[in-house]
C-alpha cells in the first residue's frame, strides 16, 4: 500500500480566509442591500503597466515566427532579465553576480521549494504573527518550528534572542501582515546572529518596492549577509504580476554550509524540477526595469501609498495605534475598545460594512490586532475610512 506524507495531517485547515468569507456571505445574505467594502484583500487591483503589456505583445509576436520562436529557456532565467535584476540591485548599492539570481514563477513557490535543499532535521524560527506559508511549508516536511514573539513593545520587529536559536530563520520586511520594517542596525543583529550560529536567513523582500524612507530594501545592504542569507523577491505587488507570475531568488555564491555551495544545490534543484518562467512573462518582467516601466510602476505604488495614507490619517485622527502604511501596503492596527480580533471584525462588518483581516489568524500574537490593506481603489478606501471614522469617533 502506498503511504502518504503524514506530515500533511499536522496542517491546520486554512481557517482564516474561509471563515472571513463565511461571515461576509452570511451578513450579505441577511442584508442584501448592504454595500460591503473589502479592505482585507492581498491582491493588487491596478492592471499591468503599459510598458509591460507592450513588451509582452512583442514577445507573443516573436513566438509566431520560426526565427524568433523560443522553446525551453534556461531554467534559472534569461540573461536579459537577470541582467535587469542585477542593475536594479546596483541602484540599491548591492553587487550581485548573474549566477546568484534565479528567475522563478513567484516568491511563494521559491519559499516552499528552497526547503528541498535544506536538511529535514533543521529547526525553524518564524515570527508570530507570520505569513502562513513559512509555517505550513515546514510542517509539510515535519520540521520543528519555534516562534519569535512580535509585539507592540518591540514594534512587531523581534530581534535575535540567544535562547531562541534555529537553523533556518525567516524574516519578512516590510512585513506581511504587520507592515513593520527592520532598520539597518536591527538587520545587522540578525545577520551577525545567523553567521555566528551558521543559520540561514530566508529573507522575504516581496514588499521592498513600498519602502519610501531610508530603510533597507535588501538583506544584502547589510554587511555579512552574503554568507548567511537567501533573498526572495516578487513582481507581484511591485508591478501587478499576481496573476502573471514572476519573481526572483538570490542565492549568494558565498553561502556555504557543510562545505557545500547552496547556490550550486539550488541550481541543481531548479534544473531538475523546474523548466523556467515563460519567455513572454520574462520579457514583461524585464520591461519593469526600463525607464518607462520604472516610472509606471512607481505611479502604481504611489497610488497604493495614497490609499495607505488615507487609512493611517484616519487612524491618527481616532488615536488608534498601528504599524505599517508608510513603507508597506499593510496597516496593522490595535483593535479599539479592547476588542479581540474577531469581535472587531464583526463590529466593523455590521456597523460599517467594511471587511478586514483579524490579526489572530496570523498567530497568537496577532490577537487584538487587525490588518487593513491599501490595495483597494482610492474611492472605496476613502469611503471605508469615512465609515470607520463615523462609527469610532
3-state secondary structure labels for all residues of the chain = CCCCCHHHHHCCCCHHHHHHHHHHHHHHHHCCCCCCEECCCCCCCCCCCHHHHHHHHHHHHHHCCCCCCCCCCCCCCCHHHHHHHHHHHHHCCCCCCHHHEEEECCHHHHHHHHHHHCCCCCCEEEEECCCHHHHHHHHHCCCCEEEEECCCCCCCCCCCCCCCCCCEEEEECCCCCCCCCCCHHHHHHHHHHHHHHCCEEEEECCCHHHCCCCCCCCHHHCCCHHHCEEEEEECHHHHCCCCCCCEEEECCCCCEECCEEHHHHHHHHHHHHCCCCCHHHHHHHHHCCCHHHHHHHHHHHHHHHHHHHHHHHHHHHHCCCEEECCCCCEEEEECHHHCCHHHHHHHHHHHHCEECEEHHHHCHHHCCEEEEECCCCHHHHHHHHHHHHHHHC
Applying CB under 6 A, does 234 fall inside the site for ligand PLP? yes
Q: Which of residues 314-373 bind ligand PLP (CB under 6 A)?
A: none
* 128 in contact with ligand PLP (CB under 6 A): no
Which residue's CB is nearer to ligand PLP, number 234 or number 353? 234
How distant, in Å, are the alpha carbons of 100, 143, 298, 363 from that of 131?
Answer: 25, 17, 25, 9
Q: Tell me the Cα Rg of the chain.
A: 21
Note whether 240 binds ligand PLP by CB under 6 A: no
Of 236 and 314, CB closest to ligand PLP: 236
Tell me: does residue 48 bind ligand PLP (CB under 6 A). no
Q: Which stretch binds ligand PLP (CB under 6 A): 95-103, 219-227, 234-242, 287-295?
A: 234-242
**Taking CB under 6 A as the criterion, which residues in 93-122 touch ligand PLP?**
106-108
Nearest to ligand PLP of 244, 314 (CB atom): 244
Total of chain residues touching ligand PLP, rule CB under 6 A: 13
Question: Least CB distance from residue 141 to ligand PLP, whole Å?
Answer: 19
b/e per residue, 229-255, with b = 16+ CB within 10 A?
Answer: bbbbbbbbbbbbbbebbbbbbbbbeeb
Rule CB under 6 A: choose which of 137, 199, 218, 236 binds ligand PLP: 236
Restricted to residues 53-92, the positions that interact with ligand PLP (CB under 6 A) are none
CB of 182 to ligand PLP, least distance (A): 14
Q: Interface with ligand PLP includes 42 (CB under 6 A)?
A: yes
**290 is a contact residue toward ligand PLP (CB under 6 A):** no
Q: Can you give the length of the chain in residues?
A: 393
Using CB under 6 A as the binding rule, whether residue 127 contacts ligand PLP is answered as no
Nearer to ligand PLP by Cβ, of 124 and 392: the residue is 124
CB closer to ligand PLP, 325 vs 383: 325
298 contacts ligand PLP (rule: CB under 6 A): no
| By the rule CB under 6 A, 138 interacts with ligand PLP | no
Complex with ligand PLP: residue 16 or 320, whichever CB lies closer: 16
Q: Which is nearer to ligand PLP, 44 or 354 (CB)?
A: 44
Q: Work out which of 132, 158, 216, 247 binds ligand PLP, going by CB under 6 A.
A: 247
Kindly tell me which residue out of 131, 193, 210, 345 binds ligand PLP, with binding defined by CB under 6 A: 131
Compute the least distance from the CB of residue 110 to ligand PLP, in Å. Answer: 8
Q: Which residue has 525551453 as its cell numbers?
A: 72
Measured from the CB of residue 104, what is the shortest distance to ligand PLP in angstroms? 8
Task: Show the site string, 163-182: x = touches ligand PLP by CB under 6 A, - = not.
Answer: ---------x---x------
Shortest distance in whole angstroms from residue 88 CB to ligand PLP? 16
Which CB, 219 or 392, lies closer to ligand PLP?
219
**Residue among 230, 235, 228, 233 nearest 267 (CA):** 230
Q: Which three cell numbers stand for residue 96?
A: 550581485
User: Which residues lie across from 233 on neighbouring strands?
Assistant: 248
Nearest to ligand PLP of 106, 129 (CB atom) = 106
Q: Contact positions toward ligand PLP, by CB under 6 A? A: 42, 106-108, 131, 172, 176, 204, 206, 234, 236, 242, 247
Amino acid at each position: 500500500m502506498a503511504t502518504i506524507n503524514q506530515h500533511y495531517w499536522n496542517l491546520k485547515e486554512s481557517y482564516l480566509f474561509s471563515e472571513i468569507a463565511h461571515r461576509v456571505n452570511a451578513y450579505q445574505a441577511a442584508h442584501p442591500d448592504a454595500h460591503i467594502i473589502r479592505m482585507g484583500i492581498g491582491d493588487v487591483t491596478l492592471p499591468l503597466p503599459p510598458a509591460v503589456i507592450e513588451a509582452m505583445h512583442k514577445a507573443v509576436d516573436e513566438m509566431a515566427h520560426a526565427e524568433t520562436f523560443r522553446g525551453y529557456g534556461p531554467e534559472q532565467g534569461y540573461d536579459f532579465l537577470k541582467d535587469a535584476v542585477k542593475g536594479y540591485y546596483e541602484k540599491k548599492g548591492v553587487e550581485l553576480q548573474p549566477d546568484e539570481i534565479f528567475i522563478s514563477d513567484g516568491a511563494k513557490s521559491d519559499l516552499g521549494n528552497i526547503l528541498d535543499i535544506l536538511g529535514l532535521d533543521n529547526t525553524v524560527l518564524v515570527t508570530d504573527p507570520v505569513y502562513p506559508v513559512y509555517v505550513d511549508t515546514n510542517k509539510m516536511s515535519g520540521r520543528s518550528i519555534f516562534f519569535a514573539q512580535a509585539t507592540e513593545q518591540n514594534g512587531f520587529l523581534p530581534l535575535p534572542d540567544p535562547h531562541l536559536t534555529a537553523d533556518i530563520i525567516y524574516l519578512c520586511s516590510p512585513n506581511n501582515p504587520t507592515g513593520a520594517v527592520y532598520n539597518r542596525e536591527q538587520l545587522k543583529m540578525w545577520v551577525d546572529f545567523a553567521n555566528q550560529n551558521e543559520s540561514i536567513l530566508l529573507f522575504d523582500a516581496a514588499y521592498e518596492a513600498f519602502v519610501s524612507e531610508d530603510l533597507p530594501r535588501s538583506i544584502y545592504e547589510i554587511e555579512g549577509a552574503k554568507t548567511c542569507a537567501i533573498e526572495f523577491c516578487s513582481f507581484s505587488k511591485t508591478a501587478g504580476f499576481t496573476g502573471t507570475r514572476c519573481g526572483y531568488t538570490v542565492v549568494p555564491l558565498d553561502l556555504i554550509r557543510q562545505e557545500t555551495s547552496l547556490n550550486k544545490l539550488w541550481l541543481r534543484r531548479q534544473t531538475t524540477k523546474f523548466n523556467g518562467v515563460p519567455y513572454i512573462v520574462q520579457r514583461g518582467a524585464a520591461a519593469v526595469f526600463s525607464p518607462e516601466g520604472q516610472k509606471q510602476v512607481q505611479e502604481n505604488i504611489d497610488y497604493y501609498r495614497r490609499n495607505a495614507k488615507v487609512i493611517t490619517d484616519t487612524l491618527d485622527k481616532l488615536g488608534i495605534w498601528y504599524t505599517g502604511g508608510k513603507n508597506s501596503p499593510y496597516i496593522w492596527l490595535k483593535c479599539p475598545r479592547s476588542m479581540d480580533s474577531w469581535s472587531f471584525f464583526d463590529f466593523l462588518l455590521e456597523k460599517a460594512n467594511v471587511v478586514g483581516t483579524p490579526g489572530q489568524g496570523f498567530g497568537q500574537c496577532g490577537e487584538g490586532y487587525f490588518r487593513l490593506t491599501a490595495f483597494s481603489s482610492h474611492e472605496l478606501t476613502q469611503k471605508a475610512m469615512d465609515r470607520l471614522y463615523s462609527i469610532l469617533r
